[in-house]
A and B are shown apart, each in its own frame.
Chain A
Amino acid sequence: MGEAIVITSGKGGVGKTTTSANIGTALALQGKKVCLVDTDIGLRNLDVVMGLENRIIYDLVDVVEKRCKPHQALVKDKRFEDLLYLLPAAQTTDKSAVTPEQMKTLINDLKQDYDYIVIDCPAGIEQGYKNAVAGADKAIVVTTPEVSAVRDADRIIGLLEKEKDIEPPKLVINRIRNHMMKNGDMLDVDEITTHLSIELIGIVADDDEVIKASNHGEPIVLNPNNKASIAYRNIARRILGESIPLQPLEDQDKGVFTKLKRFFGAK
């Protein structure tokens, strides 16, 4: 029986899809059997970031409406031996095509066959969000060091804390730019973590390579030498219960390291 992790943020464009693709891929690199689920119905793009767009036959709505079996809709990532799959979102229908109850059933079914279900959540707090969190056991909230993104993350954390079946959410701070933090033009990591008061599970630098990799359908985490890639790999290892200190970004405030304890409990 696997576990389902929803990747959410409230605000759009902060890196939910990028984080989902990279964490999912990193877990597969660790030998786990992973299924990525794109719940951003109408605006799907996890398939593009994963480079799996061309191989889609059925989608999430087809599965929910029983036009096909779940395994028929799953797109296998050929870079991995039977470890990484994607359930794409529908491109044509709208979010109301799926209900939270249906999602819960679907995710529970997938948990029988996979170690990890990584659910990419759409922006907002409406139906799409409710669908995405419906079957989740854990949640990762993604934010960037911007006031508006942190504010939305706070809102989402408040909602997640009300979900009885989801463990306290963990935080990923994405697109960190050291020079801006140093100049005080951006919120620093400490400010964000004290504001949100949830455990930090990773910080990812802002890096053009991330965008390039996504555009080529090759998640950055497949590149072993990139800094952002190492950050994502470390997040995956923390999810697996390893206790690794945060990647020392240059000039990073020391206070952060002590904040990082154990993530996602020992397994």
Chain B
Amino acid sequence: MASAFPIEVKIFMKKRQNVIIKGTKEGLTLHLNDDCSFQELKDELDEKLSANERDHEKRPLIPVKLETGNRYLSEIQREELKSLVRQKKNLVVDEIESNVISKEEAEKTRRENEIISVARIIRSGQILEVQGDLLLFGDVNPGGKVIAGGNIFIMGALRGIAHAGCFGNKQAVIAASIMKPSQIRISDLINQTINRVRNDDNHEMECAYINHQEQIVVDRLQGLIHIRPDLTRLEGGR
């Protein structure tokens, strides 16, 4: 009886795969079991990748996608897996996909996707900063500044500084009823002079965005429909 037990376990462990490798058109996808310990996972990963290892010296890099299921990986653990894979000659981790994110990340995503509305005049010397989109009912006066992780919509006059996409989002736009900024920034681009797509002074609402030439330009608000269709968030709204 006692001698049979370890054999049974061994069979069981053989059955249960912690790492399943699948080849796709894009490269390899590794499905990682989310039930075992992280150490077990690493061991098996190392083992399996080594088994598959051939002499690929001259072959191009194969992108690898890791699917971690419901396992939450810390930044350190992600790096560990990446370097483990990278050690296998021509493999490189392209993407790590997980069903779970930390509360903190969820909070951050929520903040970055939120539209914050503010009814106020941003006066000289004042700074208003939001993580997501900003909807301002009021003016930004000369010497005042608004900063947003996302887009900036000003129902009023922009005469000061506006910085949209401050975390690097180049798709971010700035719209204002009166576009007379002292400076416009989108992502890491800065414009002191305003490049207008048109040269009429219609007193229409205008918007600023980064065009294909990587320049900030100002156009009629209506142009946004074509340039940034993603601004529509209504499901099935297009």
Contact = CB atoms under 8 A, between A and B. Distances in A.
Interface of A: 151-152, 154-155, 157-158, 161, 195, 197
Q: In terms of DSSP, what is the predominant structure of the interface of chain B?
A: loop
B125 interface: yes
B126 to A, nearest CB: 5
B126 A158 contact: yes
B124 to A, nearest CB: 4
B124 A155 contact: yes
B139 A197 contact: yes
The 10 closest A-B pairs by CB, nearest first: A158-B123, A154-B124, A155-B124, A155-B125, A154-B123, A158-B126, A154-B141, A151-B124, A197-B121, A151-B143
Contacts, number: 25
Contact of A155 (B123, B138, B139, B159): B123
B63 interface: no
Nearest to A10: B124
A107 B65 CA distance: 71
A158 B125 contact: yes
Interface of B: 121, 123-126, 138-139, 141-144, 159
A197 B137 CA distance: 13
A146 to B, nearest CB: 13
A255 to B, nearest CB: 16
A91 B48 CA distance: 86
Nearest to A159: B125
Among the interface residues B124, B139, B159, which one has the most CB atoms of the partner chain A within 10 A?
Answer: B124
5 contacts: A154-B142, A154-B143, A158-B123, A158-B125, A197-B121
Nearest to A151: B124
B181 to A, nearest CB: 15
Contacts of A151: 124, 142-143
B191 to A, nearest CB: 22
B139 A158 contact: no
